[in-house]
Amino acid sequence: MKIEVIMPQMGESIAEGTLSKWLKQEGDAINKEEPLYEVSTDKIDTEIQSPETGILSKILVKEGETVPVNTVVAYIETEKKQVEEKEREEIVFKEEKSVTVEIAVHEEKAHSEMRLSPAVRKLLREHDIEPAQIAGTGANGRITARDVLLYVDEKTKKHSVEEADVPRRARIEEQIITPVEKMSPVKPGEKIAVVPMTTMRKRIAEHMILSRKTSAHVTTVFEVDMTNIVKMREQLKAQYEKEGVKLTYIAFIISAIVKALKANPIVNASVSDFDIIYKKEINIGIAVALDWGLIVPVIKEADTLSLLGIAQAVQDLSERARTKKLKLEEVQDGTFSITNPGVFGALMGTPIINQPQVAILGMGAIVKRPVVINDAIAIRHIMYLSLSYDHRIIDGATADAFLAHIKNTLENYKG
């Protein structure tokens, strides 16, 4: 019996997936629920399990190809093929070929629309344009943001771009071309190596550009005395290790963030046109650096967890992110994010907001510094916390009050 292996629907907002790697080859035996291939979307890299036990008889989608959801990517044969079955399939194929071609024309149009990035879909909606009106210049004819905006510009001017308009066109392209679409010219004889971006890297690039175009980014920085936290971590570390949990500073930070979000709920909100959407759940995304990119798994309902529960969640999600074992729902529905450049030695950073959230916290390295306490110099463990926030709905006073709340909690932490 022939079983179809399809590109799964990896979430309501995801229309396509990139088959990044086959874990089995044609002719290999495969067990049900055994990892069969890896998929990369704009939200997650993950392994897809085999739907049945059998033989991987035919691979239809190559590594690196991006296809719409529900596309058949391979076939699994659950029993030995019979010649009669193959012959019947060939007859049916010949009889239905003409019908298939007609259907394929309609499906191709639907699939081409599904291949549009979120940024392109948004532009098309804003300018009331059908995808069929634009000739895409991206890979495989894909429509890019550049194509849409140039089309709008030319339509507005009601004439083709003349030679005299070249400077204006160049300015338009400079504003809208993303790193994914733009490549510097290669000089003859130049010693270089050109490596295509991975799917995840492309998606990260698109999301970063989209976020900067969407939110009015502002960053504020606070200095926090972490000496109390350093001592408490040393006291609790052995106890947590008995539970199989590594206690990190990020667990203390998340615990403080939860309290600050409750006191400043607008930082836990999102924006829809001119509406502010307040989130009742507190779901904290933690950025995890991977060899092949960055992913942000989410601790759901972090406000219901103890310090131990937070530490366990951080450890579990981080480990499974690095081994591609995360589920799609574990990278969705975040309401606030945290990133830790300090683990690499950075003192501070100005992180980009993870849309559709309105703020993200950056943790700097904890460093011993001389500080003045009660007119005396003391050596303390100091950390810089930076908050990038969306100035459309968060004012500077609110952002500073939020960080001040975190600072006060950490410096006077009592569990």
Instruction: Give Cβ neighbours of residue 249 (< 8 Å, ≥ 6 apart).
Output: 226, 229, 233, 363, 366
From the DSSP assignment, how many helices (H) and strands (E) are in the chain? Answer: 9, 19
Give the integer Cα–Cα distance in Å for 204 and 215.
16
Instruction: Give Cβ neighbours of residue 147 (< 8 Å, ≥ 6 apart).
Output: 134, 135, 136, 137, 138
Helical segments of 288-338, H only: 307-322
Give the integer Cα–Cα distance in Å for 288 and 324.
12
What DSSP character marks residue 142?
-
Segment (H or E) for 336? strand 336-339
Q: In one letter, which amino acid is 308?
A: L
217 phi/psi in degrees, rounded to 5: -75, 130
Q: In one letter, which amino acid is 226?
A: M
**402 backbone φψ class: left, alpha, beta (φ>0; ψ -120 to 50):** alpha
Residue ranges of E strands in 69-193: 72-77
The catalytic residue positions are: 391, 395
Give the integer Cα–Cα distance in Å for 113 and 92.
30
Number of Cβ atoms within 10 Å of the Cβ of 150: 18
**Cis peptide bond N-terminal to 8, omega within 30:** no
Confirm if 230 and 256 have CB atoms less than 8 A apart: no
**311 backbone φψ class: left, alpha, beta (φ>0; ψ -120 to 50):** alpha
